[in-house]
Amino acid sequence: MTGHALRDAGSADLERARQAAEAVLSPARFQHVARVVETARDLAFRHGVDPLRVELAAWLHDLARERSPEALLAAARQAGWEPDAAERADPILLHGPVAAWEAARRGLARDPEVLEAIRWHTTARPGLGPVGCLVFLADKLEPARRYPGVDELRRLAARDVDAAMAAVLDDLIRYCLRNGFWLPAATVAARNHWRQRRPLQGDAAGAGTGAPAPKS
């Protein structure tokens, strides 16, 4: 397949993903997704990550976000995903795994990196790949997000993905603890993974204190 043909195929995949998201999401949620796509695309170009993979994952990441808790639990069982204690208590945490399963089932995405990014965009996980990291960050840092320190976190993400992952995960954990949200084990493990890569040295890790809880 020629370069032009590959680009055309990629554009068609993105349009299918956009339409799939628009069909199942409220206008407000769809606008959030569109902002995540733009933010993720910008990060991809800044950091040399395949923009087509990043955009595809971003369009599909919230495909199951507006399903009921009961529907998410049922879909997770159908997908073979065993919910942990946090996911059983707060099933909205399952919308990433369910969206990845739905995207694969419907043929909207097949690339393992894209499916990984969709699956873990809510909580992250240790060793999340470059596509997953950029979608995770874009979801937490898109322009409509407003919380203390978010501008510093955006600047950090523009220059150092590992440091931004560590800082955003620190912020999410503080926010969950302060507000009594369930704290997914994957988020704690991811934070420790990225803090090993980027120890605290005065980056933006202490700046944000109101990041969205890991269910977005």
Q: Hey, how many other C-beta atoms are within 10 angstroms of the C-beta on 148? A: 12
Query: What confidence score (pLDDT) does residue 5 get?
Result: 43
Query: What confidence score (pLDDT) does residue 2 get?
Result: 47
Query: What confidence score (pLDDT) does residue 198 get?
Result: 85
CA atoms of 52 and 54, how far apart (whole Å): 5
Query: What confidence score (pLDDT) does residue 11 get?
Result: 86
Q: What are phi and psi of 90, to 5 degrees?
A: -135, 80
Ordered by where they begin, the domains of the chain are: 3-206 (1.10.3210.10)
Left if phi > 0, otherwise alpha if psi is -120 to 50, otherwise beta: which for 20? alpha
pTM (2 d.p.): 0.90
What is the DSSP code string of 20-50?
Answer: HHHHHS-HHHHHHHHHHHHHHHHHHHHHT--
For residue 188, give the nearest of 173, 174, 201 by alpha carbon: 173
CA atoms of 65 and 161, how far apart (whole Å): 25
Query: What confidence score (pLDDT) does residue 165 get?
Result: 98
How far is residue 53 CA from its own chain's centroid? 13
Q: Which residues of the chain have pLDDT under 70?
A: 1-9, 201-216
